[in-house]
């Protein structure tokens, strides 16, 4: 009993001490420090140095190591957007088929679920085609397609999921 009451406050005190000593250099004011000199390009000439500097600014989000999200690549060509939608639909179909196989659903229920998924896919494809009717897809048009897909997904889940009664859990 005595050991436990002694160790906890000691542990807290030591962890605070280590945390403050580790954080102290980060908050230290180094007003006299000079910025690090720029890396010299060896044997590439002035043109290459200028392109290198331009490249750092042009990279944007990639320079920070962050991948561009789907909604940051707009406006986008309609064909590219439709290919992206088609790829996503195929991915979802594969996941649904795997889930149906995992839960050993009957063939009649599988057909019913896949019919709903195909109808939803056709609706999303039509919305994507409408969004790209002028040759480009804007961010707002892509958001409406995404929101439609989410709404359809939620409707299908609500329609196809079976609610289990509380009595079924006890059996």
Which stretches does DSSP call E strand in 11-164?
76-77, 136-137
Helix H or strand E encompassing 168: helix 166-170
In angstroms, the CA 80 to CA 140 distance is 16
- Tracing tokens 């009649």 back to the chain, one arrives at 108
The per-residue pLDDT for 171 is 46
Mean pLDDT along residues 107-124: 94
pLDDT top residue among 72 and 10: 10
- What average pLDDT does the structure give for the chain? 77
List the domain boundaries for the chain.
70-162
């Amino acid at each position: 009993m005595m050991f436990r009451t002694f160790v906890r406050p000691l542990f807290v005190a030591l962890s605070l001490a280590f945390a403050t000593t580790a954080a102290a250099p980060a908050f230290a004011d180094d007003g006299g420090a000079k910025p690090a000199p720029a890396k010299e390009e060896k044997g590439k000439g002035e043109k290459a140095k200028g392109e290198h500097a331009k490249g750092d600014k042009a990279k944007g989000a990639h320079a920070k190591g962050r991948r561009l999200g789907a909604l940051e690549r707009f406006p986008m060509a309609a064909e590219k957007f439709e290919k992206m939608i088609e790829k996503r639909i195929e991915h979802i179909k594969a996941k649904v088929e795997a889930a149906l196989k995992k839960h050993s659903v009957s063939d009649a229920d599988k057909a019913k679920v896949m019919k709903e998924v195909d109808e939803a896919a056709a609706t999303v494809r039509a919305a994507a085609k409408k969004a790209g009717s002028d040759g480009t897809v804007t961010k707002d048009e892509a958001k409406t397609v995404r929101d439609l897909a989410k709404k359809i997904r939620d409707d299908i889940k609500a329609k196809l999921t079976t609610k289990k009664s509380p009595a079924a859990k006890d059996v």
